[in-house]
Amino acid sequence: MTESLLSAALARRNTLRPPVWFMRQAGRYHRHYQRLRARHEFMELCKQPELAAQVTMGPIDEFGFDAAILFSDLLFPLEAMGFGLRYEPGPKLGWYLRGAAQLPRLRGGRAAAADMEFQAEAIRLVRGCLGPERALIGFVGAPFTLYAYAVAGAHDGFTRQSLPGLEDGLYAGFCERLTELLAGNMALQAQAGADCVAIFDTAAGALDPAHFARHAAGPLAQVVAQFRTTCPHTPLIYYSRDTGPDHWRALEPLDIQCLGVDGRCELAPTLSAQTPRWSLQGNLNPGWLLLPAAELEAKVRAVFTTVAALPAAARAAWVCGLGHGVLQQTPEANVKLVLQIQREVFA
């Protein structure tokens, strides 16, 4: 049976070229997506499995990434909880969580995960299009980030002190209803054919390490434990923007295989330090892809050459990617250039 480069890297045993995929690789910068978006609303692209599969496969067919990631949105669990959801074009909930009196309005439990069956069907369709050499990634939002959306309507632009309800039981009540639903959503994707599931915690950088351990890692541990009751072997990738080693110590007890890191971390030393415990995903600066081709090439070639000189154990556990998502203004030619250089350096 053929093992994908991504699966090998997540197991920290890849001896071939490091796998490469980008967060938001299927999105607004890509003409394939733009053509579909011109004919369909965003919610249609997510919820009609055939369309979601088309968007997911676009960057695979054009750029040759080593992994596809489901085209969807991390807010659908909030919709399943009863918040309502629309896009104008950005996401808007029907209402926001302001106090404990609203908690009874929220659905929870694994049964509510059935509302995301459209994701499972899209994954089945994509899996049927991918060769065995390419991996398929499912994803969800982490509890803290979903809470930030539920109370503040955003995943950034706030501090821990300005986010209400963390200390008075509101967040705990939210997580009680979310945990099994989110674990069920992850299991739905894994059982449909996702080779791994990414958990995105883009709001977690608002937390210092101590509060990260309590408010991010604590609820996440409950979700992972619930997920493992049905999917004991599916690898998990956890990405938390604006965090670092002092935060990550709280994640060590969790059954997570890969850390996604952003541009705050210098890649080569972070690989050397962290790969005894995790595989590592990242962390080219997405802004570099806006540069003229010669400048872009010089920067990425320098990073790749440094990583190529690391010990084999560190390289075996690296997933090449960006420190955050592809920016909307990114030229497609620059995406192709990064992948071309990566293949040259690690041939």
Res 210: pLDDT: 97
* Residue 238's pLDDT band (cuts 50, 70, 90): very high
Res 57: pLDDT: 98
Specify the range with the lowest mean pLDDT, choosing from 87-101, 112-126, 207-221: 87-101
pLDDT digits (tens, 9 = 90+) for 222-236: 999 999 999 999 999
- Please check the confidence at residue 164 and state whether its pLDDT lies above 90: no
H or E element at residue 281 = strand 279-284
- 238, 199 Cβ separation under 8 angstroms: yes
Res 157: pLDDT: 72
pLDDT digits (tens, 9 = 90+) for 9-30: 999 999 999 999 999 999 999 9
H or E element at residue 307 = helix 293-308
- 81, 143 Cβ separation under 8 angstroms: no
Res 90: pLDDT: 86
* Residue 1's pLDDT band (cuts 50, 70, 90): low
Q: What is the mean pLDDT of residues 141-157?
A: 90
Q: What is the mean pLDDT of residues 310-338?
A: 97
Neighbour count for residue 91 (Cβ, 10 Å): 18
CA dist 5 and 135 (Å) reads 8
Q: What is the mean pLDDT of residues 71-100?
A: 94
Q: What is the mean pLDDT of residues 167-184?
A: 96
As a whole-number percent, the residues of the chain with pLDDT over 90 amount to 93
Q: What is the mean pLDDT of residues 258-265?
A: 94
Q: What is the mean pLDDT of residues 5-9?
A: 98
Res 145: pLDDT: 96
* Residue 156's pLDDT band (cuts 50, 70, 90): confident
- Please check the confidence at residue 269 and state whether its pLDDT lies above 70: yes
Res 161: pLDDT: 79
Res 163: pLDDT: 85
Fold of 5-345: TIM Barrel (3.20.20)
- 18, 342 Cβ separation under 8 angstroms: yes
CA dist 124 and 193 (Å) reads 6
The structural domains of the chain, with segments of one domain joined by +, span: 5-345
- Please check the confidence at residue 88 and state whether its pLDDT lies above 90: no
- 247, 204 Cβ separation under 8 angstroms: yes
Of 267, 279, 254, nearest to 11 by C-alpha is 279
